[in-house]
Amino acid sequence: MGKPLSTLVFLLLFINCVYSWKKDEFRNCNQTPFCKRARSRKPGSCSLIAADVSISDGDLVAKLIPKESSQENPAKPLVLTISAYQDGVMRLKIDEDQTLAPPRKKRFEVPDVIVPEFLNKKLWLQRLKEERIEGGLVISSVVYLSEGYEGVIRHDPFEVFVRESGENGKKVLSLNSNGLFDFEQLKENKEDNEDWEEKFRTHTDKRPYGPQSISFDVSFYDADFPTKGPGVDDSEPYRLFNLDVFEYAHDSPFGLYGSVPFMTSHGKSRGSSGFFWLNAAEMQIDVFSPGWNNEYSSVLMLPTDQKRVDTLWMSEAGVVDAFFFIGPKPKDVVRQYTSVTGTSALPQSFAIAYHQCRWNYRDEEDVYNVDAKFDEHDIPYDVLWLDIEHTDGKRYFTWDKMLFPNPEEMQNKLAAKGRRMVTIVDPHIKRDESYYIHKEASEKGYYVKDSSGKDFDGWCWSGSSSYIDMVNPEIRSWWAEKFSYENYVGSTPSLYIWNDMNEPSVFNGPEVSMPRDALHHGDVEHRELHNAYGYYFHMATAEGLVKRNDGKDRPFVLSRAFFPGSQRYGAVWTGDNSADWDHLRVSVPMTLTLGLTGISFSGADIGGFFGNPDTELLVRWYQLGAYYPFFRGHAHHDTKRREPWLFGERNTELMREAIHIRYMLLPYFYTLFREANATGIPVIRPLWMEFPSDEKTFSNDEAFMVGNGLLVQGIYTQRAKHVSVYLPGDESWYDMKSGSAYKGRAIHKLEALEDSIPSFQRAGTIIPRKDRFRRSSTQMEYDPYTLVIALNSSKSAEGELYVDDGKTFEFQQGSYIHRRFTFSNGRLTSSNAGPATAGDHKYVSECTVERIILLGLSTQPKTALIEPENRKVDITWGPLLLRGGPGPSVLTIRKPNVRIADDWTIQIL
């Protein structure tokens, strides 16, 4: 997943090194005809012009026709539509003209990704303004987009762009400025000596519809981070093609498990913008180095007064359905993008705690032992996972009767301690007539078909297998039923699901996946929807978990494959990583990048899936992983056991403390997950998202923000003595462990401590914690809170706390507590940040605040007064962290015991 999606600021350097992954088994651009064709085109070679530009049904419509079409072979025009949506989103669609001679086949448009609410936000375009730009030579049509922004289509040659309002408004984003647009229309028949078949290694792709690719260039303006990405000739483009890659390289632009064709650009002067192409076929994206097109500059007439990054987008099939996001703040772009594809689902509270996984916890006894060891060592965990070996011969929804004779009893025993279990359910179905899933699916014709129309038969864990055709809503609904307690024998309400191998992984298929000419519902070829297959599978599974409790409980489903919109259905992880420091390091840009594409709930396997981490690496991984939105330890079955207590007392203690940090911060994390659910803004964020005008943050992807209040810097090297951390912004930062203040806008060289990685609370924020530790998050429900107030230079701070039942969908009816805490003029105020009246659906909590820690107060008050109760409480010196030995003393309001549900103020006397 290195770059299933790209954000300009996060491109990594490409180092030529020997990878363990089997490069030869995967196609490069040169072996991919559409990619090779697109890359060989010269800037300015697109000769299409926009004609018949008009307004129709609130959209701008036009026809794209070749400037000089030959008489004997008149080209069919393309239909172009531009529409505007609220909050700064412009949508551009280009497709073949369906009104002409009935096409052989309708090109595929990806269904069920755009959320219905988005379509309701459409602005009804009414007025078209014509203007002559570039000295009156070129005619353009202009439409209103949003306050201060316009959408423009230049007629000849055609170019579409967003600019700041006014004839001389600066460009923000543009398409086809380099004239690389190309749209291969479907042909009726093969021409002479044309060979549509493609061969790769032993696999033949029949390609019955011939070439149908689309490519175009997109330019981002005023971007400060033009990349060190690959050059045109000697390097590979970013490949967006969902693949199961064995032992993937940490530094390759190659395709991995998931794809989100969305790119964000950011620059200091203007801010951020974004471009998203909704297309599920294989995509390749080039990011050009500045000056790449110098020799064509006379043909192109590109503006010279603006910095620009050019990119080339190539897809094997589908239509152009592209979205331009105008920003201008980084958070605006995420918000705009998630207004199209949806925001992250709010997970149940257990799901954001610690998960323990291994391929495989062998049997019930093993499960009980691991569970008991966590308690014995006072290490909290919430979920224990079972990988593929728990099944009867890799028949999902079944249990190996020898190893797991009493699955319900097992789940119930763990549930009695507030713990859940997760089992794996993959999309490959064993072709075994006695297996009910296979029997039903083959009888009902629910499998993906091969190019000859028979059920596709591929090889996966279950041996000879077929794959459920998840693109069909009827089949998804059938699949969802399989998760009911009656159907999934041995499942209980505390059992949740893990979807693996849903790229889909097909061991004997081309590039370890499904042949592109396999057929889905409605005669859609697999090539057209490949990248979305795993998404539909994830969706169907999540719907199953919702259905089994009559829509009451929130589902939890982890998926390996993902696509735009996956955030609505659950968590994803970065797949089969390796136990080395490079993979620890790259987990941060990977999860940050996922967050920028709206997929907030993600993480990497703690410890690294393949190989044995040395103890120091494992400890560092726990210390970093405690801040991943999705926090799970996992390991390959060839590796040594690595549960946190197996490495001696000191290391057990270190890992326990790392996990405790996460549990302590759960109220803060949950509040952030709610923010992601409400606005799309991710839980962990690149520094530049919080500090968009601080250039030093732009290329920093080794530190990250958790919400707006915590900065975390990983330690990525062995036996590190020191670690440098850049603290952005003008305000100070408070070391989370020592409470010491550090200046902002400075690099600090710190001693690398064994027991923690550097983490800082930003001055001006208030972070809610729960300092009591329990076996699992379930038992923390009634525990009191601690508020940590870090005052800024004007002695003020603010923060939020969101609480609900942590389980059901009641919060959607307003059943929650959402507080805003503000501190200024020596007064801490708690006020309602949610809707004024919650009506019938009121979430009730007796929870109180037991401790308020004040960082950065220059006076030393002794008492505080609580209003409206008019009660006085002590201010004393107390520890900043209750664990980890005697630490520094900080000013602490002792036992204010105010309820979090109430309005109150606390005045420092």
Active-site residue numbers? Answer: 500, 503, 576
The smaller minimum CB distance to other proteins, of residues 23 and 42, is found at 23
C-beta of 107 vs 737, nearer to other proteins: 737
Site for other proteins contains 378 (CB under 8 A): yes
Binding window for other proteins (CB under 8 A); candidates: 287-295, 588-596, 767-775, 852-860: 767-775
- Dist CA 396 CA 501 (whole Å): 13
CB 19, min distance to other proteins, A = 8
- Select from 13, 101, 416, 844 the one that contacts other proteins (CB under 8 A): 416
3-state class (DSSP) for residue 42? coil
- Contact letters for other proteins, residues 784-803 (x by CB under 8 A): x-------------------
Report the SS3 class of residue 811.
Answer: helix
Binding residue (CB under 8 A) for other proteins from 37, 121, 155, 417: 417
Q: Which is nearer to other proteins, 278 or 666 (CB)?
A: 666
Residue from 775, 801, 819, 854 binding other proteins (CB under 8 A): 775
In the window 541-600, what residues touch other proteins (CB under 8 A)? 576, 578
Residue 648 has φ and ψ, to the nearest 5°, of 85, 160
Cβ atoms within 10 Å of 199's Cβ, excluding its own: 11
Binding span for other proteins by CB under 8 A among 278-286, 411-419, 486-494, 792-800: 411-419
Q: Residue type for 674, please?
A: R
- Reduce the DSSP state of residue 744 to 3 states and report it: coil
Which position among 521, 807, 878, 907 is part of the footprint of other proteins (CB under 8 A)?
Answer: 878
CA distances from 83 to 32, 106, 127, 645, 865 (A): 33, 22, 12, 58, 57
Near other proteins by CB under 8 A: residue from 84, 851, 853, 893? 851
330-341 and 666-679 helices, crossing angle to 10°: 70
Tokens encoding 253: 């632009």
Among 329, 444, 637, 862, binds other proteins (CB under 8 A): 637
Q: Least Å distance between CB 608 and other proteins?
A: 12
887 binds other proteins per the rule CB under 8 A: yes
CB-based burial label for 738 (10 Å; 0-12, 13-18, 19+): middle
Alpha-carbon gap, residue 621 to 647, rounded angstroms: 14
Tokens, residue 900: 């979090």
Helix (H, G, I), strand (E, B) or coil at 385: strand
Is 449 near other proteins (CB under 8 A)? no
Q: Which stretch binds other proteins (CB under 8 A): 166-174, 264-272, 312-320, 633-641?
A: 633-641
Residue 108 tokens, joined? 């595929």
- Give which of 626, 570, 577 is closest to 604, Cα–Cα: 577
Which of 202, 294, 298, 434 lies at the binding interface for other proteins (CB under 8 A)? 202
Site string for other proteins, 276-305 (x = CB under 8 A): ------------------------------
Angstrom CA distances, 173 to 151, 177, 654, 796, stand at 10, 10, 48, 39
Pairing of strands 827-832, 138-146: unpaired
Counting residues that bind other proteins (by CB under 8 A) gives: 82
Using the contact rule CB under 8 A, the part of the chain among 126-134, 276-284, 625-633, 847-855 near other proteins is: 847-855
Q: Which stretch binds other proteins (CB under 8 A): 66-74, 348-356, 530-538, 637-645?
A: 637-645
| Residue 845 CB, nearest approach to other proteins (Å) | 11
| Rounded least distance, CB 772 to other proteins, Å | 5
CA–CA dist 413, 422 (Å, integer): 14
CA torsion, ordered 678, 682, 685, 691, to nearest 10 deg: -30
44 binding other proteins? (CB under 8 A): no
Contact flag: residue 459 with other proteins (CB under 8 A): yes
Tokens of 434: 């006695």
Site for other proteins in 722-741 (CB under 8 A): none
Among 542, 623, 879, 890, indicate the residue that binds other proteins (CB under 8 A): 879
Contact segment (CB under 8 A) with other proteins among 107-115, 119-127, 590-598, 844-852 equals 844-852
Nearer of residues 112 and 614 to other proteins, judged by Cβ: 614
Among 129, 132, 231, 246, binds other proteins (CB under 8 A): 246
Site residues (CB under 8 A) for other proteins, limited to 498-517: 506-508, 512
Return the bridge partners of 130, or none. Answer: 141
What's the distance, Cα to Cα, between the start and end of the chain in Å?
Answer: 54
Instruction: Give residue for tokens 């602490």.
Output: 892
Determine which residue in the list 115, 899, 901, 905 makes contact with other proteins, applying CB under 8 A. Answer: 899
16 makes contact with other proteins (CB under 8 A): no
Question: 99 vs 870, which CB is nearer to other proteins?
Answer: 870
Residue 200 interacts with other proteins (CB under 8 A)?
A: no
Question: What is the SS3 assignment for 836?
Answer: coil
Q: Is residue 400 near other proteins by the rule CB under 8 A?
A: yes
Site residues (CB under 8 A) for other proteins, limited to 655-674 = 660
Binding to other proteins (CB under 8 A): which residues in 313-372?
A: 360, 362-366, 369
Nearer to other proteins, 303 or 878 (CB): 878
For the bound state, the minimum distance from the C-beta of residue 873 to other proteins, rounded and expressed in Å, comes to: 8
Q: Is 611 in the site for other proteins (CB under 8 A)?
A: yes
Residue type, 793: S
What is the DSSP code string of 574-643?
--S-BSSHHHHHHHHHHHHHHHHTT--SEE--BT-SBSPPPHHHHHHHHHHHTTSSSEEE---TTSPP--
- What letter does residue 397 receive in the DSSP assignment? T
Enumerate residues 77-136 that contact other proteins by CB under 8 A: none
Closest by alpha carbon to 273, among 602, 613, 692, 788?
Answer: 692
Q: Residue 659: helix, strand or coil by DSSP?
A: helix
Q: Which of 693, 782, 835, 903 binds other proteins (CB under 8 A)?
A: 782
**SS3 category, 152:** strand
Q: According to CB under 8 A, which one of 34, 324, 773, 811 is a site residue for other proteins?
A: 773
Q: Report in angstroms how near the CB of residue 858 gets to other proteins at its nearest.
A: 23
Q: Which of 557, 677, 665 is nearest to 881 (CA)?
A: 665
- Our finding on whether 72 is near other proteins (CB under 8 A) is no
User: Which of 99/202 has CB closer to other proteins?
Assistant: 202
Q: Which is nearer to other proteins, 150 or 771 (CB)?
A: 771
Query: Does 744 help bind other proteins (rule: CB under 8 A)?
Result: no
Least distance CB 595 / other proteins (angstroms)? 28
Nearest to 502 by CA among 464, 467, 455: 467
Query: φ, ψ for residue 252 (rounded to 5)?
Result: -120, 150
User: Does residue number 402 form part of the binding site for other proteins (CB under 8 A)?
Assistant: yes
Exposure letters 304-322 (e unless 16+ CB within 10 A, then b): eebebbbbbbbbbbbbbbb
Q: In this chain, which stretch among 18-26, 67-75, 133-141, 536-544 interacts with other proteins, using CB under 8 A?
A: 18-26
Q: Tokens for 347?
A: 């997970």
Provide the minimum distance between the beta carbon of 651 and other proteins in the complex, in angstroms, as a whole number.
Answer: 14
Comparing CB distances to other proteins, the nearer of 281 and 518 is: 518
Q: Find the binder of other proteins among 461, 537, 573, 760 (CB under 8 A).
A: 461
DSSP state of 23: G
Among 640, 719, 721, 749, binds other proteins (CB under 8 A): 640
Nearest to 673 by CA among 710, 703, 629: 629
Q: Select 185 or 905, whichever has its Cβ closest to other proteins.
A: 905
Q: Which amino acid is at 800?
A: E
Q: d(Cα 690, Cα 873) in Å, to the nearest integer?
A: 36
* Gap between the Cα atoms of 98 and 447, Å rounded: 30
